[in-house]
Amino acid sequence: MRYDYAVIGGGISGMTAALLLAKHGRRTVLIEQAPRLAPLVRGFQRDGVNFDTGFHYAGGLAPGESLHLFLRYLGLLDPLQIKAFDPVGFDRFQFADGMSFALPLGDDAIIARLARLFPTERVAIATYLQRLAAAAGTFPYINLDRDFTAQPTLDYVHGPSLQEVLDELFIAPRLKEIFAAHCVLHGAPPSDIPFALHACFVGPYYRSAHGFVGGGAALVAAFETALRAAGVEILTGRAVERILGDSNGVCGVRLVDGEEVTVAAVIATVHPASLVDLVADKFFRPIFNKRMKQLENTTSALIFYVACETAPEWLLRSNLLMVDAAPGGMGTGPDDGLLFIAGAERSADPSRCGGMVVISPCAAQLTARWQESRFGGRPADYRYFKDELSRKLLRRLQLFAECGAIRSVALATPLTLRDYCNNPGGGLYGVKHRVGQYNPQPVTRVPNLLLAGQAVAGPGLFGTMLSAFLCCGTVLGHEQLREELKQCS
Ligand SMILES: Cc1cc2nc3c(=O)[nH]c(=O)nc-3n(C[C@H](O)[C@H](O)[C@H](O)COP(=O)(O)OP(=O)(O)OC[C@H]3O[C@@H](n4cnc5c(N)ncnc54)[C@H](O)[C@@H]3O)c2cc1C
């Protein structure tokens, strides 16, 4: 069969792109190499607990906000049960020196809470929140009334960085630390992330924070139903080995089993470094290949899954950020730095918390010794190393006495992120968005080869869905898409 579009990669970006195209009458095939769609976000079940992997919570899911609108427009909202996080403390902070506080939702509440702790910085806090909202409002799919800028993310590469804005506004280092801690949501330190992109991807969390009952698996199930209803052909367990065509245009894809699929256009959502391996020599210009291979990646992380005897229910509506002395909002490994802790639902009763997912940002170098090994075939000393890391993380978590006895269920390392999540370089969110780095844009120089994915617009549910709108808008018409979104709001 001949398709109008082949979408490579069945993550959030690919599923969104395929759905958008099919909704507009394009015959679309979605090709995912893993046995099932969205391996990164569907999570896993172990010891009676549903562990989320690539989705814990999102900003912008309140009615009227951007992400809510995307989901509604694509027909994904109905089957989903959206779960509001605690408005008086959606994220709870605990510092090594004993200071702790809960960050509430909404600018006024945040100003009131933080001004109690930093009374002389009240005006600066208000200014910071205003600037976040203003910067996010410059994005054409966030602000549907703003003139469309074809390549909005390129505008922000020149900065300022988040760190520059924090240094300009705040005096108290602790206040800077608090606002920098949310860099864990995009994986670039405050000195790297352009302030406007931070505003776009983190700002919405300050107004509303939600998850889904059933977690990432429920989101994937909603996508699967919608994709089938829209007539998208879904091929899973079948990797694309080659994008066929040349620099004058693409004409199909070849799968690893040798089958060739004829298409009029391709949308690739894979990591940019993998993209250039899917094409023949001279497809892209050498300078483009080099640039894609050399893009800097986001921070890596250890992701620790633990089952708890008596996990507090509040963990299902608030995250815990344990912030140690690591400067710059990121950690260096299990011994220090930030721990981002989200609750995990019990499988038998999703209203009860049965465990925790602990993200400990670290450098990919941590597991560089074993980089020649592959998923499923790691040597014994790697397993000892992981056992030792688990013990260290468990020791840090003992401080969190409310959980009773806790036991390790699984530990993902930078190598897991590289091999299982398909992020060459082991980045938590693939390619970094940073001041001075030109990430790929939706339109390439090769006619009919388009790009979406976290490298293109940004990471997270919002960033990846946005990337699909930016990509598909180039063929469906941005004004038409934005008008349709407006009609839906
Ligand atoms: C630990 C962790 C926690 C997170 N928590 C949150 C959160 O709480 N909230 C939030 O909004 N975001 C969160 N994220 C980020 C979010 O999960 C990602 O940004 C998003 O899922 C990336 O989607 P994507 O489609 O761009 O990429 P991917 O999900 O990586 O999709 C790309 C797909 O392409 C497939 N593929 C690769 N090569 C080929 C090939 N040759 N042929 C066919 N298929 C191929 C891969 O198997 C993959 O499924 C988290 C991420 C991680 C790692």
Task: Name the residue type at position 368.
Answer: A
3-state DSSP helix/strand/coil % of the chain, to nearest 5: 40, 20, 40
Average pLDDT, the chain: 93
- pLDDT > 70 in the chain, percent: 96
Domain 2-42+58-80+213-296+433-488 in CATH 1.10.1060.10? The answer is no
Going across the sheet that includes 209-212, the strands are 58-59, 209-212, 82-84
Average pLDDT over residues 124-131: 98
Q: Is the CB of 459 under 6 A from ligand 1?
A: yes
Instruction: Tell how strand 319-323 and strand 300-308 pair up.
Output: unpaired
DSSP secondary structure letter of residue 103: E
More confident residue, 103 or 141: 103
Q: Is the CB of 54 under 6 A from ligand 1?
A: yes
d(CA 367, CA 150): 39
pLDDT in tens, 420-445: 888 999 999 999 999 999 999 999 99
Residue 16 pLDDT more than 90? yes
Provide the pLDDT confidence category of residue 212 given band limits of 50, 70 and 90.
very high
Q: Is the CB of 32 under 6 A from ligand 1?
A: yes
Q: Is the CB of 89 under 6 A from ligand 1?
A: no
Single out the residue of 485, 487, 445 nearest to residue 139, CA to CA: 485
Q: Is the CB of 11 under 6 A from ligand 1?
A: yes
Can you give the pLDDT at residue 331? 55
Q: Is the CB of 412 under 6 A from ligand 1?
A: no
Q: Which atom of ligand 1 is nearest to the CA of 269?
A: 32
Pocket probe for ligand 1: among 422, 423, 433, 450, the residue whose CB has the most ligand atoms within 8 Å is: 422
The answer to whether 53 touches 216, Cβ cutoff 8 Å, is yes
Residue 35 pLDDT more than 90? yes
pLDDT in tens, 78-117: 999 999 999 999 999 999 888 999 999 999 999 999 999 9
The domain ranges of the chain are 2-42+58-80+213-296+433-488
Q: Is the CB of 441 under 6 A from ligand 1?
A: no
Alpha carbon nearest to ligand 1 atom 26, residue: 453
Q: Which atom of ligand 1 is nearest to the CA of 239?
A: 42
Residue 151 pLDDT more than 70? no
Cα 417 to ligand 1 centre (Å): 10
pLDDT in tens, 312-363: 999 999 999 998 755 454 555 666 678 999 999 999 999 999 999 999 999 9
Cα 300 to ligand 1 centre (Å): 14
Cα 41 to ligand 1 centre (Å): 7
Pocket probe for ligand 1: among 20, 30, 32, the residue whose CB has the most ligand atoms within 8 Å is: 32
Can you give the pLDDT at residue 405? 87
H or E element: which one contains 74?
Answer: none
The answer to whether 440 touches 449, Cβ cutoff 8 Å, is no
Pocket probe for ligand 1: among 20, 33, 52, 243, the residue whose CB has the most ligand atoms within 8 Å is: 33
pLDDT in tens, 169-189: 999 999 999 999 999 999 999
pLDDT in tens, 225-265: 999 999 999 999 999 999 999 889 999 999 999 999 999 99
Can you give the pLDDT at residue 489? 83
Can you give the pLDDT at residue 298? 97
Q: Which atom of ligand 1 is nearest to the CA of 12?
A: 25
Q: What are phi and psi of 261, to 5 degrees?
A: -115, 125
